[in-house]
Structure 1
């Protein structure tokens, strides 16, 4: 029997933190792709997909979006993360409760879990593998910033991939986006699926509740994987 529940995890500030290494890698990739240093700073990253983040950072520097620029940036960024993987492990961290929840869920035959992230596919895979979290996630059916710059569109991309892989449909009520920003919640709502929010980033639990998350957690430590599945399978009124 195929899994009944499809969980789509955000990556940064939901599963892991890069301790500033992500900003360093972005700046290096920006300079390699454009030939200009990132002297005017970086656009606010929280909840943005990588193409939008790059576009806004280009605008800060008065630079045009040239054909092929994002591809050059993405390749340089992935190379930067690969070179800094050991540094990422040493300075970054898995957020509290994440490893146990992902392990619990990976052992539950009712659940399929992957990622829905603004990261490119390559960057997400490198970052997650640096912490060993890729063992619990089917990254092949995930949706990434290089699939579409519009975060809500990523939900249907992931659902289609999961449906093709398991040869079974995933209804909106069977699909849950889990993230740390109001943009994650808004993306879920725009796609007509459910949203769980974790106040592990800069957004407060109150902010996430106001955005309309059906379940808000302070951290994943407060709920194990089995308890989370029970909450998600509970009848909704």
Structure 2
């Protein structure tokens, strides 16, 4: 890429894909393996990081956490997801308009696309690869759950990674981060984007309604990604 004009960060779950069944099964297995009894209640997942979901799930199920709880559960969750690689293709689905939006933005000069997700990196990468969405995404610069960081902090890290990889730097210069837009589906994502100072295209393809996304302050709200022209127009206008 000769010139980086904009960075588009995609949330994965309920924005690009729906792999809810596989996620629930993987969590249940990871809980059984790490706690030694069946999972009764899974914490809400929209717009949250894996660490938030794990700690709340443990609390919901009356588990006393220790410093090792998160690390052990994440390891088990990674293994459970890897074992269900085929299930992602069988039971997961790509949401309407996602492939077309990714492909169309890839043709806009100077546009880099990656992900900003609350999922841990191995599981996030599996989702987009197995469901055929990785071609236009540079996953090396993505923001993934890594233990304790908020989605706003992960967004900033993704921007920094993109700039370090694609923006030429002369000695002594500060790397200029590219104009960035987040595409996501939850009110929590709207708040994270604004904490990071980034506009958001909110898609009502998850648990948040269009009214809730507007109320949260999203710059653009779409019912789905099906209108490719609307997606591309919103991205270019918000990163102009």
Q: Same fold judged by TM-score > 0.5?
A: yes
What is the alpha-carbon distance in structure 1 between the residues aligned to residue 124 and residue 223 of structure 2? 24
| CA gap 1:233/1:157 in 2 versus in 1, 3 angstroms | same
Q: 2:58 maps to which residue? A: 58
Q: 1:30 maps to which residue? A: 31
1:199/1:216 contact within 8 Å kept = yes
How far apart are 1:83 and its partner, in Å? 1.7
Cα RMSD after superposing both structures: 1.9
Q: 1:217 maps to which residue? A: 222
How far apart are 1:230 and its partner, in Å? 3.1
- Note the residue ranges of structure 1 that are not aligned, 5 or more in a row: none
**Alignment pair present for 1:175 and 2:171:** no
Q: 2:15 maps to which residue? A: 14
Q: 1:230 maps to which residue? A: 233
What is the alpha-carbon distance in structure 2 between the residues aligned to residue 63 and residue 3 of structure 1? 47
How far apart are 1:20 and its partner, in Å? 1.5
> What SS does structure 2 have at the residue aligned with 1:178?
strand
Q: 1:200 maps to which residue? A: 205
What is the alpha-carbon distance in structure 2 between the residues aligned to residue 233 and residue 103 of structure 1? 15
TM-score between the two structures when normalised by the length of structure 2: 0.90
How far apart are 1:235 and its partner, in Å? 7.6
1:4/1:170 contact within 8 Å kept = no
Runs of 4+ in 1 over 4 A off after TM superposition: none
The number of residue pairs the alignment matches comes to: 232
- Note the residue ranges of structure 2 that are not aligned, 5 or more in a row: 168-174
Moved more, 186-195 or 145-154: 145-154
What is the alpha-carbon distance in structure 2 between the residues aligned to residue 149 and residue 8 of structure 1? 17
| CA gap 1:57/1:147 in 2 versus in 1, 3 angstroms | closer
